[in-house]
Amino acid sequence: MSKEEVRLFIGPQHPGVTGNMSVEVLLKGDTITWAKTHIGYLHRGFEKLMERRIYIKSFPLVCRICVPEPDTNEENFARGLEELAGIEIPERAKWIRTLVLELSRLQMFIMWYGGIAGSMGLSTPVQWGIGDRDYILDLFEELTGGRIYHIYIMPGGVRKDLPEGFEERVLKLMDIIEQRLPEYDEIIMENAVVQKRLKGLAKIPRDWVDEMGITGPVARACGFPYDVRKDHPYEAYPYLDFDVITEDGCDAWAMLLVRRREIDLSINLIRQIIEKMPKGEFLARLPNVLYWKIPPGETYVKSEATRGEFGYYMVSDGSDKPRRVHVNGPSFVHGITLLERLLVGQNIADVAPIMVSLQTCPPEMER
């Protein structure tokens, strides 16, 4: 640190950072010369707590690893457990899980779409985004009983069947959201401030993607068609018809375009799921989960969250509690390795849009 530089902490109490984390930067004038991410403000030791609990008791824990999108965690943990225990789940359960995953992806993207505008000081899209997301939360409440944490996906399938008329209500909501989206586009995409600020911001060199393990919309904005739904299909995704969305810009504007098109894709997928969903059982027969011993083994399961590839490495030693569960969220790489390198040379005002573009989610970095 030279005499001309100023050390500044952005966060944890700062409206611009994405959640309870902080970035320490050195400033020369208005330009960042060095950055370091500080995490650990939300560390609850989930991996340690899971080692002390039987498998079924871990389900309320795993959904709290990522607050805005809990279903990815539940699904991953349940799928890993099924693989270790050798359980086949019914066909309908797979489709219901996929529906829940896509609904949760959609609500996250809509909130994000408002949030990226909010990070540049436009407050109307924030109000719209969170307001429209609430309609999806209402559907979740009807389906699972909870607005945010659902604990709906469990080993062997899902907790309950869909309520009567649920499909029609989902389809109706999709129509409403689809009608609303052009209004969003008008005030976000066509806004000169957004275009000026995001085009060329946070330019990622292409060779970083494979080397650093960048995944999700950030990798897709650099032209790499990495999507776990397509690459390693899970649940009902092999039966769905879709293309991986890519853009070529490598910058924050391309990330915005990818996520905007992801909203359309999610709506499309939800319509497909409801059209093709089979009838039948929704929960496989399980042994008594309170005395459930899992045979020794290990596995790595992954799925596509809104931010990128979400993976669970699970080791069982033959007892009724896991030996080790390692949760690997995409934000670990995006928020520490990538963010520290991307911020160098940027302006102080662009820290918030960059963090929102990378969609760093602190609870999944530190668990």
169 binds other proteins (CB under 8 A): no
> Which residue among 109, 112, 237, 332 contacts other proteins (CB under 8 A)?
332
Helices (H), the chain: 46-52, 59-62, 71-85, 91-118, 124-144, 166-188, 192-198, 207-212, 216-221, 228-231, 252-276, 331-332, 339-342, 351-358, 362-366
Site string for other proteins, 72-91 (x = CB under 8 A): -----------x--------
Fill in the DSSP letter of residue 174: H
Q: Which is nearer to other proteins, 41 or 166 (CB)?
A: 41
51 binds other proteins (CB under 8 A): yes
Q: Which two tokens stand for residue 174?
A: 């999709």
DSSP string, 261-299: HHHHHHHHHHHHHHHHPPPS--B-----GGG-PPPSEEE
Cβ neighbours of residue 214 under 8 Å, at least 6 residues apart?
Answer: 204, 208, 222, 308, 333, 334, 338
> Which residue among 2, 13, 179, 288 contacts other proteins (CB under 8 A)?
13
39 binds other proteins (CB under 8 A): yes
CA distances from 349 to 119, 227, 334 (A): 10, 31, 19
101 binds other proteins (CB under 8 A): no
222 binds other proteins (CB under 8 A): no
Q: Which is nearer to other proteins, 214 or 252 (CB)?
A: 214
Q: Which residues pair with 157 in a beta bridge?
A: 154, 283
184 binds other proteins (CB under 8 A): no
Write down the least CB distance from residue 247 to other proteins, Å: 18
> Which residue among 40, 280, 287, 318 contacts other proteins (CB under 8 A)?
40
Write down the least CB distance from residue 360 to other proteins, Å: 13
Write down the least CB distance from residue 229 to other proteins, Å: 12
Angstrom distance (rounded) from CA 292 to CA 295:
10
Neighbouring C-alpha atoms within 13 Å toward the C-beta of 257 = 19
Contact range with other proteins by CB under 8 A, out of 72-80, 156-164, 186-194, 225-233: 225-233
Write down the least CB distance from residue 313 to other proteins, Å: 5
268 binds other proteins (CB under 8 A): no
> Which residue among 12, 24, 54, 271 contacts other proteins (CB under 8 A)?
12
> Which residue among 7, 28, 44, 196 contacts other proteins (CB under 8 A)?
44
CB of 151 closer than 8 Å to CB of 175: no
Bond prior to 362 in cis (omega within 30° of 0): no
Angstrom distance (rounded) from CA 338 to CA 111:
23
Write down the least CB distance from residue 274 to other proteins, Å: 25
Q: Which is nearer to other proteins, 331 or 357 (CB)?
A: 331
Contact range with other proteins by CB under 8 A, out of 186-194, 207-215, 260-268, 279-287: 207-215
DSSP string, 213-243: T--HHHHHHTT----HHHHS--TTGGGS---
Write down the least CB distance from residue 244 to other proteins, Å: 12
What's the order of all strands across the beta sheet hosting 5-10? 5-10, 22-28, 31-38
Q: Which amino acid would we find at residue 309?
A: E
> Which residue among 4, 29, 127, 280 contacts other proteins (CB under 8 A)?
127
Q: Catalog residues that contact other proteins under the rule CB under 8 A.
A: 12-15, 19-20, 39-45, 47-49, 51-52, 60-61, 64, 67-68, 83, 111, 126-128, 130-131, 133-134, 137, 147-149, 210-213, 224, 226, 231-232, 298-300, 302, 309, 311, 313, 315, 323-324, 326, 328, 332-333, 336-337, 363, 366
